[in-house]
Structure 1
C-alpha cells in the first residue's frame, strides 16, 4: 500500500509531466501561418456576396471552413453597447492577443509596445508579409508591424516597417493622410520597389531563380496612391447628397495594378522559399470602406475578390500538413442585414443601420493545425495563441527571445 507521501510524490510527478506535455504542445507554431482579414466583414456581408455569386446564402469558398465566431470589443467599447472597436484596437487584438484602446496601434494603455505575431514569428526565423488593398500604413496592417500611440501616425508607421519589423513582403497602396510608404524610403531601407502587375510578376519569377538567400528578400509593392481600384465597376445608385465618402475611382486601373488574389499568389511564391516557414497577413481593406458608404455593390465586389484571395491560398496550401489558414474580420461595418436574395447575378435586397462599426461578433473560418482551437464562441485575442503556438502573449515573447 502506498504511503501518503509516495502518493503525493506520484501525483506531483504526473502533474509535472502533463504540464511539460502541454508546454511542448504549445511550443510548436505551424510552419506557415496565413491570416486573411476581411475588414468590416460580418456574417451578413458574407451572405450578401454569396447570394450574388451563387444564388445561395453560403456559397463562398471559405465558408466550407466555418469554425465559430469572435467577439471584437476593445477597452474603449467594452461594456458599452453603443460603442464599437476600431480597426486599430481590433487589429491589435488579433496581432498581439491583448486588448487596447481605440486608435492605438499595438501598444498597451500605458504605452508599452506589445509584441505582434509577425515580430514573434520573425524571431523564430520565419519570413513575413503584409498585403492589403488600402494604404499599407492603415490600422490593420500597421497593427502587425508597428507600434504607435495614434493610428494616424502614418510616417512613423512606415518608418517602423522599414527600420523595425521589416516584413519581407509589403504590398498595397501608398499614401494615407498625405503620408505613408514612399519609394525613396523603401529603397533606402534595402527594399526592391515594384509598381505594376508586370513588375511584380517579373520580380517574383526572378526571385524564384535567385541564388540569394530568402532572408535577403525585401520587396515593397506600391501599386496605387491611396487605394487599389474598386472590384465592382457596374452602375451605382444615385448619390445626390454626396453621402459616399470614398472615391469613385482609384488613380490606377486593373490594367496595370494587381488584384488582391494576384498579390496573394505572388506573396506566397516569394515567402515559400523560407526554410523555417512564414507568416502572411492578407487584408481585404476596402470591404470596410464600401460598408461605411452603405454601398452593397462595392461591398459584394470586394468580398468576392477577398474570397478569390482565399482560394489562391488554399490552392497553394492544399495537401500540406504544416500550414494554418485563418479567415476572420476585425469588426463589422454598417450594421448590414440581408433582407432577401434576388438570384444569382443580382444584388440582394439589404438594409443598413449604421455608417460606422458595430459590436457584432464576426465569423471565424480556419483550416490546418490549430484550427480546432478556434471552434465555438471565442474572443478575437484567442487567435494570437493559435498562430504563435503559445498560450499567452508573454509566453510567446519569452520563447522568441
Structure 2
C-alpha cells in the first residue's frame, strides 16, 4: 500500500512539473516576409557579414516551403501573398480570391475574430501585392481603386508604408481615401518622422508617394517602424496581436540584378527581424515567423575561381533572371510555438498552421 502511495505521489509530482514547464500559449504572431528572399539571399548576407551571427542564426527552428501558384510553377507576389495570408492557392495576379473567384479569409480576419489587434508594416506602397493579400479581394493586382477601397474597409488597426499619392487623390464622389480613414477614427501620418510621434490606434502612416526610398536612402525606417508597431499593438492589450512586416524591396533589387542593393535590403530586413525577436524575448507568448513569398533573380554565389586548392577564391553574386524562380524558400521560427512548425511543406500549409495557432490564441 505504501509503495502504491509513493508511486501515485511521484506521478502527481511529475504531472505538476510538466504543467509548470508547459510552453505558454501563443498570444502574438509576428509574420515577417522578405519579398524575393531565397536561401541565396540569406547566404549573401552571411557571406558579406563574414559569418558573424545574424538574426536568422537566432532561429529556434527552421523549415522550408514550396511556392508554386495554382496556374504556374513560378509564382508572382499576389498568388504567393494570398497563399501565405489565407492558406489557399490562387492564380498569378489574383489577390484574396480562390481559383473560382470566391473570397478567402486572411490571417488578419482570423486574428480580429479572436479579438486580436492587426497591423501591416511594409517598405512598398500599402496597396502592393503582399500587403494587399492580407485585406483585398480582387482578380487582378492592378485594380488599385478596388484594393484601396478594400484597405479602408479592412479595419486593420495599423498600416505603415507608402502609397500616399493613391490615398490622397480626389475621388469622383469627392474626398480622398485618407479622408475616409480619418472619418473612421484613424490617426494619420504622412511623413516618416511623424511615425515616432504616434500614440493610440487605429493609425495609418502613408509616408511616401509610392514605395519608400531604397534602404541606402531611407535610414532605419523598417526596424524603427517595426518597433513602433509592436509598441502600439501591444500597449494595454490582453488579447494579443497579429503583425505582418515585409522587406518589400529585396524583390525590387533582385529584379534589377543589383547585388549591392539586395545586400542593403537584406541588412535592413535582418534588423527588423532582430527587433521582432527582441520583442519575443521580452514578451513570452510571441511567435516570430520569418519567410519569403518566392525567390527573385535566380541568385547564385559561385566561387570566384575554379582552383579550390587556394586558401580563398572569393565569391561572386550572379543572377540568372530578371524575374522570379521556382526554388524553395526558408522559414525561420522563433519564440513561443517555434517547434510546432517544421519540415518541408507548401506555402499554404504554413498559413494553415498559423491560422490554427491564431484560432487557439489566448
Normalising by structure 2, we get a TM-score of 0.83
> How many residues were matched structurally?
323
Distance 1:311 1:192 in 2: 27
For residues 133-156 of structure 1, the C-alpha deviation after alignment (integer angstroms, 9 at most, x for no partner) is 001001101111111111111221
Change (3 A) 1:152 1:177: farther
What SS is found at the alignment partner of 1:224? Answer: coil
- 8 Å Cα contact 1:131/1:171 also seen in 2: yes
Aligned to 2:264: 301
- 8 Å Cα contact 2:277/2:334 also seen in 1: no
Distance 2:157 2:166 in 1: 25
Q: 1:31 aligns with which of 27, 30, 40?
A: 27
Q: CA RMSD in A?
A: 2.6
- 8 Å Cα contact 2:167/2:178 also seen in 1: no
Distance 2:128 2:304 in 1: 33
Structure 1: runs of 5 or more not aligned? 1-27, 78-82, 208-216, 234-252
Q: 1:353 aligns with which of 320, 329, 333?
A: 320
Q: Give the alignment of 1:154-169 within 5 angstroms.
A: 154-163=144-153, 165-169=154-158
Aligned to 1:128: 118
Q: 2:204 aligns with which of 186, 197, 220?
A: 220
- 8 Å Cα contact 2:281/2:335 also seen in 1: no
Distance 1:300 1:160 in 2: 34
Normalising by structure 1, we get a TM-score of 0.75
1:177 is displaced (CA, Å) by 8.1
Distance 1:178 1:366 in 2: 35
1:179 is displaced (CA, Å) by 8.7
Distance 1:370 1:179 in 2: 41
1:75 is displaced (CA, Å) by 0.5
- 8 Å Cα contact 2:121/2:159 also seen in 1: yes
Distance 2:317 2:30 in 1: 31
Would you say 1:267 and 2:254 are equivalent positions? no
- 8 Å Cα contact 2:164/2:207 also seen in 1: no
Aligned to 1:202: 197
Structure 2: runs of 5 or more not aligned? 1-23, 170-175, 306-313
For residues 175-212 of structure 1, the C-alpha deviation after alignment (integer angstroms, 9 at most, x for no partner) is 588998943332233211112343211113xx3xxxxx
Aligned to 2:163: 174
Q: Give the alignment of 1:10-49 within 5 angstroms.
A: 30-49=26-45
- 8 Å Cα contact 1:329/1:362 also seen in 2: yes
Q: Give the alignment of 1:2-401 within 5 angstroms.
A: 30-52=26-48, 54-56=49-51, 59-65=53-59, 66-77=61-72, 83-163=73-153, 165-174=154-163, 182-204=177-199, 207=200, 217-232=201-216, 254=219, 259-273=221-235, 274-340=237-303, 349-389=316-356
- 8 Å Cα contact 1:374/1:382 also seen in 2: no
What SS is found at the alignment partner of 2:160? Answer: strand
Change (3 A) 1:151 1:176: farther
